[in-house]
Structure 1
Amino acid sequence: MDFTASERSSGDPVRPSSAKIVVAGGLGAGKSTLIRSVCDIGPLRTEAVITMASAGPEGPGRAALQESASAVVDFGRVTLEESLVLYLFGIPGQDRFRSIRDDVVHGSIAAVVLADPLRPADSSSSVEHFERCGIPFVVALNSFDGQGRFDTDQARAALRIRPDVPVVPTDARRRDAVKELLVRAIEHALERRHSPPEGPAHAASH
């Protein structure tokens, strides 16, 4: 999707630009709530069923044991300042859905890693995924009603991310807070475009 300023002659209506942002995070971090709270239209939810071979040993001539798992992908659309349309895709954070995440992430300009302030490390898989993909991301601490065990510095340490990756407190239930978060994600993507980082965002563990 294009992420450029609209060109128009005098008197012509503004033609919105569009961009794709993905939202990921640990189980129960609030991804669906975030998309539902900010989108202009009713969000869509789709389930993708994947079949995985069992991890158990197999004897000669035995067919692989199979198990099914469903991954929910959320989709929503939000218009910012009448000139930019964002398409939001909420993706599962578990590693077993990596193939689905790879497909959905393709073409996105930025990502939001939503983290539970009580369990920020649960979102480390999403941090690592966006790092591997080379997609700029911000970390959002879904702190609501004043609840939260980790502050931004503690969450940064728990996720082992570099100082230039923004960590932003937010409330996934509030439309205004989510809009501010999305704007910050876009700003960070533009900053990364003009000044690529040196080294990985995910710091080595000690």
Structure 2
Amino acid sequence: MAFGRSSRTGAMHAVSPVEPLTLKILVAGGFGVGKTTLVSAVSEIRPLRTEELLSEPGVGIDDTGGVEGKSTTTVAMDFGRITLREDLVLYLFGTPGQDRFWFLWDELAQGSLGAVVLADTRRLADCFAAVDYFERRGIPFVVAVNCFDGAERHPVVTVREALDLDPGVPVLLCDARDRESVKDVLVGVVEHAMSLARARRRSLTTGT
């Protein structure tokens, strides 16, 4: 009987599990910039990949300049998940980097909190389209410069000027292969998006 009373008491005082807040983050950028690598590096589940071998239909369409060693391409999305805190889970959606898959972007962007635009300083022009996409739709984003081995390092201010970014858009340096580096970028996205949301609420409240 004593065991039974103890069990009931323990059940009464059991802490209910925390229901985490789940947020959707997009990972975008040019072809071969490291989106699949980034999602794979940080995901706590086996990432869902939709990669195919580069084939003849892509010849002349997919720009492989600077990434000649790349033999696969993402044709729909990459998907991963990371728990930042007990009460905060991020779902990551890596977008395809080729122009011929732009029609998928609107569907992937639905319900997203924010985005990472991954950039390669050797091919900065490749991320112009992603920057324009998120600016036009008012989706908060950060630019993460993927520091490839052997690539020339440029000051953040130089990257910002080259991409003609608004002053409030964060520019971060990262290694898409390194879990902790990627986590820092994702935290930056969440903080940036939350900051913009608070500013909007204050604006609505004060009418300014």
Q: Could you say which TM-score interval applies, normalised by the shorter chain? A: 0.7 to 0.9
Among 97, 100, 106, which residue is 1:102 paired with?
106
Q: How does 1:62-101 map to 2 (within 5 A)?
A: 71-101=75-105
Whether contact under 8 Å (1:112, 1:185) holds in the other structure is yes
Whether contact under 8 Å (2:27, 2:94) holds in the other structure is yes
**Shift in Å at residue 121 of structure 1?**
2.1
Unaligned runs of 5+ in 2: 1-12, 53-72, 201-208
Quick one: distance in 2 between partners of 1:133 and 1:94? 20
**Shift in Å at residue 94 of structure 1?**
3.4
| Match in the other structure for 2:42 | 38
CA separation of 1:41 and 1:70: change in aligned 2, threshold 3 A: closer
| Match in the other structure for 2:119 | 115
Matched, 1:168 2:172: yes
Quick one: distance in 2 between partners of 1:166 and 1:71? 28
**Shift in Å at residue 180 of structure 1?**
0.7
**Shift in Å at residue 81 of structure 1?**
1.6
Q: How does 1:52-63 map to 2 (within 5 A)?
A: none
CA RMSD of aligned residues (A): 2.2
Matched, 1:159 2:163: yes
Among 169, 179, 193, which residue is 1:189 paired with?
193
Structure holding more helix per residue = 2
Q: SS of 1:189's equivalent?
A: helix
Unaligned runs of 5+ in 1: 1-8, 49-68, 197-206
Using structure 1 for the length normalisation, give the TM-score. 0.75
Question: Based on CA coordinates, which of the two structures has the bigger radius of gyration?
Answer: 2
Whether contact under 8 Å (1:93, 1:126) holds in the other structure is no
Paired-residue identity, %: 52
Quick one: distance in 1 between partners of 2:168 and 2:179? 26
Deviations along 1:18-59, one digit per CA (max 9) or x if unpaired, are: 0000000011110000000000011011269xxxxxxxxxxx
Task: Tell me how many residue pairs correspond in the alignment.
Answer: 168
Deviations along 1:149-184, one digit per CA (max 9) or x if unpaired, are: 432111111111111100000000000010111000
Quick one: distance in 2 between partners of 1:174 and 1:23? 15
Quick one: distance in 1 between partners of 2:150 and 2:50? 32
Quick one: distance in 1 between partners of 2:40 and 2:113? 20
Whether contact under 8 Å (2:116, 2:143) holds in the other structure is yes
Matched, 1:131 2:135: yes
Among 22, 37, 40, which residue is 1:18 paired with?
22
Deviations along 1:97-129, one digit per CA (max 9) or x if unpaired, are: 222011111110010000002222210100001
CA separation of 1:37 and 1:70: change in aligned 2, threshold 3 A: closer
Quick one: distance in 1 between partners of 2:190 and 2:14? 27
Using structure 2 for the length normalisation, give the TM-score. 0.75
CA separation of 1:46 and 1:145: change in aligned 2, threshold 3 A: closer
Amino acid of the residue matched to residue 140 of structure 2? P
